[in-house]
Structure 1
Amino acid sequence: MADLVQEGCCRLLFPRIAGPGMETATVNISGGIAAGDRIEGRLACGEGTDLLMTSQAAERIYRARPDDAPAEIAVSCRIDANARLEWLPHGTIFFDGSRLHRRMTVDMAGSATFMFLESRIFGRRGSGEKLSRLDVRDRLSIRRDGRLLVEDMLRLESPDVSTLLAQPAVADGQGGVTTLVLVSPQAMDLLPDVRMRLAAPECAGFAASAWNGMLVVRGLAQSGWMLEVAVRKILPVLRNGRPMPGTWRS
């Protein structure tokens, strides 16, 4: 063990799975994201590849001191012709006073498939946490064949974030929000089946729409677990019945 050297906080695990494609789980061995952290990742999916990216557990964004710089996370992805990339991590938990600037950029071919999931959980309500202050900028940019397709931005910069999240047009007092995006030549055809799944009681706070070769689902729920229960109802339709990611097992 005298020669073992480890640096950086990001690791990749490759669970043994049965099914098409490769599954990879990201691991943050530091246990969470603190103010001032900077993480950058680059991912390239060659022609015809099939990759699922998930995470070992929910990511935690810890409280920052008033003068701390925000944590920064930047991920860039390239998806070549006829390739498939599924980005399906567990949710992100924001602690009171956390500061995060995160951006994901995707450049994909017109024949490629990209699925994106992000669940944002505002405090751990089961532990009695209540948020007062956040500084969050969370951005997704997708280009298909070089043309901008999606530019989605969540921005929460408030000294009274609980009042902001309580507004009906923001989060209606719910504890978490989910965004699920599928860009694929077949995406729009899946909308009727997705809406049938959304009729289930556990998906009461969810809605879906499809246009311009993509399908978007957004939802609200009281907790991260309730968000995941709803997402589990939807993903089998979007993933053609493939099994859930290995780290998502109940």
Structure 2
Amino acid sequence: MIDRELIKRALAEDLDGGQDITSVATVSGNERVVADFVSRSAGVIAGIDMARAVLEEVGLSEIAVLVADGAKVAKGTVLMSVRGDTRAILLAERTALNFLGHLGGIATLTRTWVETIAGTTCAIRDTRKTTPGMRVLEKYAVRMGGGTNHRMNLSAGALIKDNHIAAAGGVTAAFNRVREKNPTAEIEIEVDTLDQLAEVISLKPDCVLLDNMSPELCAKAVALVAGAFKLEASGGISLTNARAYAETGVDYLAIGALTHSAPVLDIGLDLRAE
């Protein structure tokens, strides 16, 4: 997945209308080198196409991609190599690494969550808690880690939350207003209690978000719904208790941390003589 406009903005931000004064001073402009993108820690890779496109944007073309997105790699793995003008490689270095590290971090964290609940019927799902302008890429990285995506934007489906319910005057009123104006849209609605869930069942939503319920309450919710629609647990979920939630039978765990709190995957660039 490539966002070339984002790459152009990132490189322009780095130069800010000027030039790389360090490289211009230390590199004559005639040198050619080989540079390897190397994983400094184990993790799951995402953003390879973005990194390659950064290199292409500065005029480099001799690029060898050695690892595909979604691959789980060990520390010291060479992900990609590039041969060409030294100044161009140094100009692209930080922007390419920023994309690889950020997206790889999301993919790596997602894979950790996915492996934590492996063997259950539950899926790890992301949220809209993404970096402005990078949602498509970050949600792509979630998929590379084995997770699944919630709606991409506000028009892709309805999610009726507590503030919508309060504004509309109740769960049923909120649902009916959304359904009236959007007869074919998928509708998910948030509930805080089993009583609210019981009220929602007859409305036949596509999914219900169980907000800040314990695993015990989630298990009761699963029994109450009996497969009539999907259930998603959200709030208070950690890697420590994720399996307990997944084993209740809910369909999804909503994890905002996948995109808003993922540590960067440590990746470096090593130059070597051609």
TM over 0.5, shorter chain: no
The structure whose residues are more often strand, as a share, is 1
Query: What TM-score results when the alignment is normalised by the length of structure 2?
Result: 0.25
Q: Report the TM-score, using the length of structure 1 for normalisation.
A: 0.26
Structure ranking higher on relative contact order (CA contacts 8 Å, 6+ apart): 2
Structure number with greater Rg is 2
